[in-house]
Structure 1
Amino acid sequence: MKQHGNLLESIPPSWGKEIFTDLARGDTVRIERIVSTGQTSPETGWYDQAEHEWVLVIQGAAEVTFDDGMVHRLQKGDYLTIPAHSRHRVSWTATDRRTVWVAVFYS
């Protein structure tokens, strides 16, 4: 099945929670759109996932912090590769505008 769309359209008008939308999925890859409006990872938890993750900020801004103290501030057009089992968290997202990410999870 062929699909097409626009990453910046059809975004529900929710400012209270983060929105996750699967765009494509296969046996070893998943592509997801994430829309953040000030949300962060829970203070008590770190993501520690079995697959690699590549993220791209389409609009807005965000910050990803790793458990070794490394902080990456991402602006429109910036991308980051997060190797599998790299403990990390989203430590900040813009509150004055939507941050639209594309996340690619792969083995």
Structure 2
Amino acid sequence: MNNIFDNLPADLSREHFLDLLNTPSVRIERIVSKGHDSPEAGWYDQDEDEWVMVLEGEGTLAFEGGRVVTLSKGGFIHIPAHCRHRVSHTRPDDITVWLAVFFSPAG
């Protein structure tokens, strides 16, 4: 039996990304952050839809156009393909564990 909280990285000088499942139709990823954000020039513009949930901690997403969304434990959001966004903040004194699901957009 696997557990998403097993084997959390000790060194979080950089964000940690781990594919939990990777198939042609869906990718599920665990992301562990601690005080990380995307560089100002680091906007994500993905070909896939993304559904993301914070399992532990807190993270803030900034969207092109000025929208800002803060997710705390249990919070989730759907981000459509090509919706430019970035991580603008995670807590520096606590880990944030994200669960991200990437899939092809409908239609």
- Which whole-Å CA distance do the structure 1 matches of 2:78 and 2:14 have between them? 24
- Which whole-Å CA distance do the structure 1 matches of 2:6 and 2:94 have between them? 15
Structure 1: unaligned runs, 5 residues or longer: none
1:22 aligned residue: 19
TM-score (norm. length: structure 1): 0.94
- Which whole-Å CA distance do the structure 2 matches of 1:100 and 1:79 have between them? 12
1:96 aligned residue: 93
- The residue type equivalent to 2:40 in the other structure is E
- Which whole-Å CA distance do the structure 1 matches of 2:43 and 2:32 have between them? 19
TM-score (norm. length: structure 2): 0.94
Out of 31, 39, 42, the position equivalent to 2:28 is 31
Offset at residue 15 of structure 1 (A)? 2.4
- Which whole-Å CA distance do the structure 2 matches of 1:45 and 1:57 have between them? 20
- Which whole-Å CA distance do the structure 2 matches of 1:98 and 1:9 have between them? 14
Out of 90, 103, 107, the position equivalent to 1:106 is 103
Deviations 1:33-90 (A, max 9, x none): 0000111111123110000000010000000010111100000000011000000000
Task: Flag as ranges the 4+ runs of structure 1 deviating above 6 A.
Answer: none
1:69 aligned residue: 66
The RMSD of aligned alpha carbons is: 0.8
Percent identical residues: 51
The count of residues paired between Structure 1 and Structure 2 equals 104
1:60 aligned residue: 57
